[in-house]
Amino acid sequence: MLSGKHFIVTAGPTHEPIDPVRYIANRSSGRQGFAIAGALAAMGARVTLVAGPVTLLTPEGVTRINVETAIEMRDAVFAALPADAAVMVAAVADWRVEASGQKIKKGDGAPVLTLVENPDILAALAKAPQRPRLLIGFAAETEKVVEHAVAKRARKNVDWIVANDVSGDVMGGASNAVHIVTARGVESWERLPKDEVAGRLARRIAESLT
């Protein structure tokens, strides 16, 4: 059904170094993104999976590019263009640190970390000359999930936002309940195993593109 089409999928967290042994990260396991990449490949798509630092097995038929930081992820995504669609599942760190070249030692007090805003990969892709025909972002929220997702879709200028409530055990867990926000409105799905969410989303994507 998706033969001849190229998809970019991002998955997992990013790790932003503080020093050679410490980093800023989040709880994303990468499971949902990997499942989506696998589901798209199973439907015949050529899939480039840009994966943050996770230990998951690469889905069958998927080309995997491993990255660590947000900047590395951005560069890998743009290097993979052109694509018919991009599904940006990764939980990219909003901030990075001006990292120390040496391990920070304990002193008289806590070190001062200077935060620098990371690139907004999703927004940049929406403005790119090679913008994918279908651009899907993910929104991990802890409150006002649909409200924030609707606002994010407009702000980022993307086609769909897939939103979920991560205040429980979704990050790192095996199941997910999502809301699909499009120009037509909001569709809320019941909590399902992440593989089933991926399969259902892949079918929706295929219908949209064909």
Q: Which of 26, 157, 164, 176 is catalytic?
A: 26
What global pTM score does this model have?
0.94
Nearest-10 crossing angle of helices 194-209, 31-42: 50
CA dist 73 and 66 (Å) reads 8
Task: Render the burial of 116-136: b for 16+ CB within 10 Å, e for the rest.
Answer: eebebbbeebbeeeebbebbb
Per-residue CA distances from 114 to 97, 123, 187 (Å):
6, 24, 40
Q: What confidence score (pLDDT) does residue 210 get?
A: 83
Q: Which residues contact 198 (CB under 8 A, 6 or more apart)?
A: 32, 35, 36, 38, 39
CA dist 26 and 47 (Å) reads 25
- Per-domain residue ranges of the chain: 6-96+117-209
Instruction: Clarify whether 118 is annotated catalytic.
Output: no
| Residue 152, strand partner residues | none
pLDDT in tens, 19-62: 899 999 988 999 999 999 999 999 999 999 999 999 999 999 99
Burial class of 151 by CB neighbour count within 10 A (0 to 12, 13 to 18, 19+): middle
Class of domain 6-96+117-209: alpha beta
The closest alpha carbon to 36, from 142, 157, 137, belongs to: 137
pLDDT in tens, 73-128: 999 999 999 999 999 999 999 999 987 788 888 876 788 888 999 999 999 999 99
Q: Which of the four pLDDT bands, split at 50, 70 and 90, describes residue 170? A: low
